[in-house]
Amino acid sequence: MNSREMLRLLRPHQWLKNGFVFVGLLFGHAWNDVATVQTVVLAALAFCLVSSAIYVVNDLADREADRLHPHKKFRPLAAGTVTAGQGMVLGLLCAVAGFALAWAASPTVLLIVALYGALNLLYSWRLKHVVILDVFIIAAGFMLRILAGTVGVGIPPSSWLLLTGLMVTLFLGFAKRRSELAVMEHSDVPARKVLQNYSLPMLDLMIGVCATGVVMAYSLYTMSADTIAAHRTGDLLYTVPFVLYGLFRYLHLTFSTDAGEDPARDLLRDPHLLLTVLGWAALTFWLLA
């Protein structure tokens, strides 16, 4: 058994997405509460393991189609470096461990993680073939991460931040579909079924709407009287340029390169994007702390 290939099957770089679980910890000023921090960490680890289990299920279901894709053909199950039986065992172990960690965090976190798992199984089975709804399901997965790190640990979520999170995740989802469609149009690879219902102009419009929504929602959040009162500062407005630059950089990567299919990998590979996210996080923490 190749342990490196087994690890690749879990897609550990995708665990970056579970950073959304820590949003409530940051904006809820709860980083000094050791018990809350421990609970949030458990919730994040639970999402890491359950999301990896879902990736294994997806790769098992799609391994034949992945063999025809220019990039996905190198995935362990598609390439045959991990057998289907090994993948099933690994996915099951991750799911069991993930749900155990979610229960250790709180019953609410367990419920949210279970809902996340069920929603993704429905997505893999049928919903990924329904145009527009497929992207909303992807966004829902991110929103459940935010809720696990807020409602799940007793931190009241901000309506403005929830709206911002929704717009960000829809933006990433439609950018992913655009990148997939662009790859399909320039190769002989059979198109994903749902891509037949999308077009580049349609996706460009949706991406533009979501990008605008991100900027508007986040900017209004930083200027909200409730936000200023809760954080005792109106200086969060100075983090908006980081959001703008990050969006514009990601649009540049999506439209000018082959980026967009995998936001987590794009973040790790592009120093501009990585430094922007780190700069936003550092400035935000400094202003709130």
Contact indicator for 154, 36 with CB cutoff of 8 Å = yes
* DSSP annotation of 284: H
At 191 the pLDDT is 61
What H or E segment, with its residue span, contains residue 64? helix 34-66
> Do residues 65 and 171 both lie within one domain?
no
At 278 the pLDDT is 96
Q: Which of 102, 123, 157 is the last residue of a domain?
A: 157
Q: Which of 102, 125, 157 is the last residue of a domain?
A: 157
Range of the domain at 207: 159-289
At 125 the pLDDT is 82
Candidates 59, 45, 58, 36; CA nearest to 12 is: 45
> Do residues 61 and 90 both lie within one domain?
yes
What residue ranges of the chain have pLDDT lower than 70? 1, 70, 186-191, 258
Contact indicator for 256, 279 with CB cutoff of 8 Å = no
> Do residues 250 and 274 both lie within one domain?
yes
Q: How many domains is the chain partitioned into structurally?
A: 2
> Do residues 191 and 144 both lie within one domain?
no
> Do residues 98 and 118 both lie within one domain?
yes
> Do residues 68 and 130 both lie within one domain?
yes
CATH number at residue 97: 1.10.357.140
> Do residues 238 and 179 both lie within one domain?
yes
Sign of CA dihedral 169, 266, 86, 44: negative
Q: Which of 106, 128, 157 is the last residue of a domain?
A: 157
Structure token pair of residue 183: 């790859």
> Do residues 213 and 112 both lie within one domain?
no
> Do residues 181 and 46 both lie within one domain?
no
At 189 the pLDDT is 60
> Do residues 191 and 265 both lie within one domain?
yes
The pLDDT tens digits of the residues spanning 194-229 come to 888 899 999 999 999 999 999 999 999 999 998 899
> Do residues 138 and 28 both lie within one domain?
yes
Dihedral-angle region of residue 154 (phi above 0 means left; psi in -120 to 50 means alpha; beta otherwise)? left
